[in-house]
């Protein structure tokens, strides 16, 4: 496990670090990664979730914008297993997911300020992605999973459900993070669905 850094959360990066071991265990159990998996973790930070993913033996790509975390992530993971662990020090919205491989499993505690555009960007690469397990603002989880007739149902619900299966997993209280956010969070599983994309392409050809 990597050495802890004396690092204060940066507001401009939307950083809230997960510190609740029970929540971390629940996230890892939901993902249930294995040695054959290709996992992409967005914003690993201190490596709270990274450690469990690494221990599963999966192929691991870490995307971290904050340079302060890079030495720790390199020492704790990449240098130990360079054949199955790599680090990308870049803004996740600029990462070429098309170059990362296929059957990708996306994991992350997403900064709230980029969560929605990032989800749309990920789903543009839906053919390459097996599933997505992300922590979001609870309100956003509710909007993604809302059904017609629900007050939360809207554009976000329609656009994501049109191409994917969605499953809210569990809620997470502000006390599980440092610094504590002002809102509740939620974990959600999103599975890109090729049959749904095919139906949309078929409708496009008929209109």
What tens digit of pLDDT does each residue of 19-35 get? 999 999 999 999 999 99
**Positive or negative: CA dihedral 111, 20, 178, 5:** negative
Tokens of 147: 């059904």
pLDDT at residue 204, rounded to an integer: 52
At residue 2, the pLDDT reads: 45
d(CA 64, CA 45): 7
Output DSSP code: residue 74. I
d(CA 123, CA 42): 15
pLDDT of residue 194: 83
The two tokens of residue 57 are 């033996």
- Sorted by sequence, the CB contacts under 8 Å of residue 206 that are 6+ apart come out as none
Residue 13 has pLDDT above 70, yes or no: no
Average pLDDT value for residue range 56-73: 97
Residue 73, pLDDT > 80, answer: yes
pLDDT digits (tens, 9 = 90+) for 111-124: 888 999 999 999 99
pLDDT given for residue 58 in this prediction: 98
Query: Is 40 in contact with 63 (CB distance < 8 Å)?
Result: yes
Q: What is the pLDDT of residue 190?
A: 98
pLDDT digits (tens, 9 = 90+) for 74-107: 999 999 999 999 999 999 999 999 999 999 999 9
- Burial letters 74-108, b for 16+ CB under 10 A, else e: bebbbeeeeebbbbbeeebeebebeebeeebbbbb
Percent of the chain residues topping a pLDDT of 70: 88
53-57, 140-144, 201-205: least confidently modelled range? 201-205
Domains and CATH numbers, the chain: 13-206 (3.40.50.150)
Q: What is the pTM (predicted TM-score) of this model?
A: 0.89
Residue 14 has a pLDDT of: 57
DSSP conformational letter for 9: P
Q: What percent of the chain has pLDDT over 90?
A: 82
Q: For the chain, give the mean pLDDT.
A: 90
In this predicted model, what pLDDT tens digit does every residue of 158-205 receive, in sequence order?
999 999 999 999 999 999 999 999 999 999 999 999 888 766 665 455
Q: What is the pLDDT of residue 197?
A: 73
Long-range contacts, stretch 139-147, CB < 8 angstroms, 24+ apart: 139/183, 140/112, 140/115, 140/116, 140/186, 141/168, 141/186, 141/187, 141/188, 142/168, 142/186, 144/119, 144/188, 144/190, 145/188
């Amino acid at each position: 496990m990597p050495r802890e850094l004396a690092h204060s959360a940066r507001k401009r990066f939307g950083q809230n670090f997960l510190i609740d071991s029970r929540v971390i265990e629940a996230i890892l159990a939901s993902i249930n990664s294995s040695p054959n998996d290709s996992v992409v973790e967005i914003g690993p930070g201190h490596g709270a979730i990274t450690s469990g993913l690494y221990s599963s033996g999966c192929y691991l790509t870490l995307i971290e914008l904050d340079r302060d975390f890079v030495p720790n992530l390199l020492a704790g993971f990449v240098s130990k297993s360079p054949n199955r662990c790599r680090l990308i020090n870049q803004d996740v919205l600029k990462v070429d997911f098309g170059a990362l491989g296929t059957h990708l499993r996306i994991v992350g505690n997403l900064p709230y300020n980029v969560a929605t555009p990032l989800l749309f960007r990920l789903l543009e690469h839906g053919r390459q992605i097996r599933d997505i397990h992300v922590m979001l603002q609870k309100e956003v989880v509710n909007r993604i999973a809302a059904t017609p007739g629900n007050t939360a149902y809207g554009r976000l619900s329609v656009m994501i459900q049109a191409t994917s299966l969605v499953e809210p997993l569990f809620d997470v209280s502000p006390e599980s993070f440092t610094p504590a956010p002002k809102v509740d969070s939620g974990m959600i599983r999103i599975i890109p669905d090729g049959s749904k994309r095919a139906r949309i392409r078929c409708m496009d050809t008929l209109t």
